Chains A and B, each alone.
Chain A
Amino acid sequence: MLKGTLQTIILKLLEDNEQMYGYEITQKVKEITAGEIKLTEGALYPALHKLEAEGLLKTSTEIVDNRVRKYYRLTEEGGNGVASKLDEAQAFIDQLQLLLNLKPATK
């Protein structure tokens, strides 16, 4: 996975799903990409913690089956930042397509 895209993926997933916990995020990515992209927890959690420290995500905890589950959700600032992150990712993909002489995907 390209550097920097993980944060965009996390923000987009949380925009679509309101709140999610770490394991759920890994499973969602696996499901959407039909297993082609597998997030490792060693990369996922540091990215989540960084986004939380930057104030883009906030957390809440719930007790599920006698264990503490930490949910992540977007803050107002995080919600506002999703569109610009997606634009950045799209611009990067467009540039990559140009560089590699790939034809834009047809719908």
Chain B
Amino acid sequence: MSKPTVPAAVQRLLYAFYGLAACLVFADVLIHRHVSHPAESWFAFYPLFGFVACVVLVFAATAMRHIVMRPQDYYDELADVEKTRDEVPLDSGSISPHDEDRS
């Protein structure tokens, strides 16, 4: 997977986005959050949790692709019926009491 190139306008938006992210972390110093759980009182708990959670989510999901991903037409029902019909020949009609040693 190659790194995508970023147009200048988007790059400016991204800088603004990073700036706001920094402000939000800094707000942790200014605003005292009242907490219900000890973990919440750690500095930058929520930013770290959000970032790590999403990275873990994406890596785990990407790994999951190796197990669960199938081609687009995997459930193609019509093809399924056709195939099954081929596997089970219904017109093999010569079953009679006399050909016992068939198969």
Does A pair with B?
no
Taking Cβ atoms with an 8 Å cutoff, the residues of B that contact A are none
Taking Cβ atoms with an 8 Å cutoff, the residues of A that contact B are none
